[in-house]
Chains A and B, each alone.
Chain A
Amino acid sequence: MIRQILATGILSEYTGFEDVRWDRVWNATTETLYMTGVSVAIVFVLGLILGLLLYETRQHQTIWSVALYKTVSVLVNVFRSIPFIILIVLLIPFTTAIVDSMTGPTAGLPALVFSASPFYARMVETALRDLDKGVIEAAKSMGASKLELIWKVYIPETLPSIVAGITVTTISIVGFTAMAGVIGAGGLGNLAYLEGFQRGRANVTLVATAVILLIVFVIQFIGDRLVAYIDKR
């Protein structure tokens, strides 16, 4: 099998990197990092707030809480279930309304945020639900207010899960940026598609893949290290 592939020369397309335009690779990389960085920052804050909201409203039996929980929960589930590529298309009118131009890395942000926040919010909610009820009771018995509970108990005590969750989310966002690239949001996905595929330069695709892998490995490494450092359990 392998010998056949070699014999037919398919792999020969991947030799020689003279025609790879490194400035474009560099450009695409910064675009990917920009899209990932900005959307992760937004997703982190939004997901944390949504996760806390889900957790808090779930516990209470009042009509408002139940209604709020149901609403947020349905929205989260819907956005989490829509395939990313479809979500991009769905959000085109919204995106043009808020970002003006439909191309460029910034145009990828709304879809990235909409699809990753619900995903992360659920992770945060799960982490909070795994939190030891006794510790919450102890903090309440010491007179902690809701805000103090959130800052001094919920977040610090679930921090390893919060960080592990954002690591996983970031990695899937990197993947999403590649898809967003295909519809013109720039980045390494765009490079691989336009330069690599449409112009038949397989090497460019290979380089784009390698850079994305590198980014993912670095994120995973940092995430794992961070979790190990903060987890004192």
Chain B
Amino acid sequence: MITLKNVTKTFLNNKQSFEAVKDTSLTIKKGEIYGIVGYSGAGKSTLLRLLNGLERPSSGTIEIDSQELSPLSDKQLRKERQSIGMIFQHFNLLWSRTVIDNVCFPLEIAGVSKDERVKRARELIKLVGLADKEKAYPAQLSGGEKQRVGIARALANNPKVLLCDEATSALDPQTTDEVLELLAKINDQLKVTIVMITHEMEVVRKICDRMAVMSKGEIVEEGPVLQVFRDPQQEITRRFIKQDTEVDEKETQLVLKELKVAYPEGQILRILFQGDHVGAPIITKVSRQVDTDINIIHGSIRSTHNAPIGSLTVQILGDQAKQDKALELFRTYPVEVEVI
């Protein structure tokens, strides 16, 4: 659906050149939700703007739905953009227009007749759950409602792709979840390919199928979300995953310290399960086979778009031989084991 080949974007600032996107190659499949995480300044927004031709690459090629962007004239590019929706961190609605007129805006640009516009806009406003706010002005809406309008507006021309630039970063956690749910629903119902960029790993975990990690203009890691979470290759990816689990991390560390003091001989492991294995009675099995006690210190489960990921922090008691045996046994199961 979307293919980037060796794309580089260089900006010239006061005679100084700066590579915001470096030699990036990427394939995004039709109908998937693709997440790109990275810290501020990593070049995520630039990458997204390359996808709808708001920026032209300095080198490399970009293909959307087997249409290469670079040979297109400005006019053709504007036409092409009508089939690529985009939503923003700060919603970017026109404050001078009502909700329905905001949703009509892209339809006006596409030259849709007035009756058609209103009909289509009403459908979309209903889809995003704002039927009663049709005549309101953006200033009268909450952040979550504004983003819903943004989504309705982005979908107006039946886009093949929806680009989301930090779409939930200005929203509170509750509203973030609602907006993510809406995006997942849209992806499911309308089969729109979604590309999300964010600095929040949580967002990627919750709705993306595949993901990439971007750092200093480069994609440093890429793969299915579950795989990246289970087996991160880069330090920066680990940091992002940790940020997602940070909340309970602090308390766990505290308990860990206390336990290490109380049972200095015990070995502490972190076990990561995913998907089908979340429910498997691995702990009991190992405990029985080795004939030793296993303390459960902390457990958590997080949902991802495809399957849940669970994490357990456990302590194996008993002598060294038993501990080694247990560790070995754990490794025979399809889980990730980490000695802490």
Which residue numbers of A lie inside 8 Å of B, CB to CB? Answer: 132, 134-135, 137-145, 148, 152-153, 156-157, 159, 230, 232-233
Question: Of A134, A137, A159, A232, which is in contact with the most chain B CB atoms at under 10 Å from its CB?
Answer: A232
Main secondary structure of the interface of A (DSSP, over half): helix
CB of A155, distance to nearest CB on chain B (Å): 9
| Residues of A with C-beta under 8 A to B97 | 156
Q: A141-B81, A143-B82, A145-B78 are in contact. Are A159 and B96 (CB under 8 A)?
A: yes
In the complex, whether B52 has a CB less than 8 A from a CB of chain A is yes
Given contacts A141-B54, A143-B110, contact A156 B96 (CB under 8 A): yes
Q: Give 5 nearest A-B pairs by CB, closest first.
A: A138-B92, A134-B92, A143-B81, A142-B106, A143-B78
Nearest chain A CB to B64's CB is how many angstroms away? 14
Q: Is the CB of B92 within 8 A of A137?
A: yes
Among A137, A159, A230, point to the contact of B88 (Cβ < 8 A).
A137
By a CB distance below 8 angstroms, the chain A residues around B226 are none
Residue of B nearest to A230 (CB): B96
- 14 more contacts with CB within 8 A, not counting A138-B86, A141-B81, are A138-B92, A141-B54, A141-B84, A141-B86, A142-B81, A142-B86, A145-B75, A148-B108, A148-B109, A156-B94, A157-B94, A230-B96, A232-B95, A232-B137
Q: For B137, what are the chain A residues with a Cβ–Cβ distance below 8 Å?
A: 232
Contact A233 B95 (CB under 8 A): yes
Q: B139 at the A/B interface (Cβ < 8 Å)?
A: yes
Partner of B82, one of A142, A156, A157, A232: A142
Asked whether, in the complex, the Cβ of A233 is within 8 Å of the Cβ of B79, the reply is: no
Q: For residue B156, which residue of chain A has the nearest CB?
A: A142
Also in contact, A134 and B90, with CB within 8 A (given A141-B54, A156-B97): yes
- Whether the pair B109, A157 counts as a contact (CB closer than 8 A) is no
Could you tell me the distance between the alpha carbons of A139 and B94 in the complex, rounded to whole angstroms? 9
B39 at the interface (CB under 8 A from A): no
Residues in B whose Cβ lies below 8 Å from that of A145: 75, 78
A-B contact pairs, 28 of them (CB 8 A): A134-B90, A135-B94, A137-B54, A137-B88, A137-B92, A138-B86, A139-B105, A140-B54, A140-B81, A141-B52, A142-B81, A142-B105, A142-B106, A142-B153, A143-B80, A143-B82, A143-B106, A143-B109, A143-B110, A145-B75, A152-B109, A156-B96, A156-B97, A230-B96, A232-B96, A232-B137, A232-B139, A233-B139
